[in-house]
Amino acid sequence: MQTWAEAGRPLRQVEQTVASDDPDPKALACYGLYLPTEEKVLLRFVEGRPISGVTTQFLAWCSERLAARGKTALLLVWDNAGWHISHEVRRWLRAHNQRVKRTGQGVRILSCLLPSHSPWLNPIEPKWMHGKRRVHEPDRLLMAAEVAERACAALNCPYEEHLTLPKQVA
């Protein structure tokens, strides 16, 4: 992790450990959608790891938000992460787009996969990089709620209720 240090003081990062009985989640995944024409970021968190079932929840949520803004299509630029290219996500996208085309309501989603190992082509990557620098705390572990609040503040977006893991995975 790269971050800024106080002038004249080198940054020292120490590996932090968590007590085994700590009630805070062991992992906190963050989903984000950058809207460059509005200079806005839509963020949602999930306690746990990113998986296909949560990805489809996030896409449905984004679709609702964009439809409310009068949008009709979303060009979704993302990498080849397993939870982006899974059969479940591709099936969901196909069914969602067919439903939008059939009813004429909603936002069609066109996914554009980036070449492997080319994050600089994704317009949200600079937002993630600078956001992580503003959230990071080298001297102590942050609670999950602190991380989420700091991320929302760093990216200037409202804090939203966390997405939930599907029952079979939880």
How far is C-alpha 96 from the geometric centre of its chain's CA atoms? Answer: 20
Residue 1 has pLDDT above 60, yes or no: no
Residue 148 has pLDDT above 70, yes or no: yes
DSSP 162: P
Contact call for residues 165 and 48 (beta carbons, < 8 A) = yes
pLDDT of residue 123: 77
pLDDT of residue 13: 63
Q: Find all residues with CB under 8 Å of 86, minimum gap 6, and list them.
A: 52, 55
Tell which wins on pLDDT, 64 or 116. 64
Locate tokens 């995975």: which residue?
A: 169
DSSP-derived secondary structure for 32-83 = EEEETTTTEEEEEEEES---HHHHHHHHHHHHHHHHHTT--EEEEEE---HH
pLDDT in tens, 98-109: 999 999 999 999
Categorize the per-residue pLDDT at 134 as very low, low, confident or very high, splitting at 50, 70 and 90: confident
pLDDT in tens, 8-55: 777 666 666 666 666 677 778 899 999 988 889 999 999 888 899 999
CATH class of 28-154: alpha beta
Residue 3 has pLDDT above 70, yes or no: no
SS3 track for 89-151: HHHHHHHHHHHHHHHCCCCEEEEEECCCCCHHHCCCHHHHHHHHHHHCCCCCCCCHHHHHHHH
Tell which wins on pLDDT, 130 or 3. 130
Contact call for residues 51 and 165 (beta carbons, < 8 A) = yes
pLDDT in tens, 48-107: 888 999 999 999 999 999 999 999 999 998 888 888 889 999 999 999 999 999 999 999
State the Cα–Cα distance between residues 84 and 90, nearest whole angstrom: 8
How far is C-alpha 133 from the geometric centre of its chain's CA atoms? Answer: 16
- Note the residue count of the chain: 170
Residue 144 has pLDDT above 60, yes or no: yes
pLDDT in tens, 149-163: 999 999 899 999 999
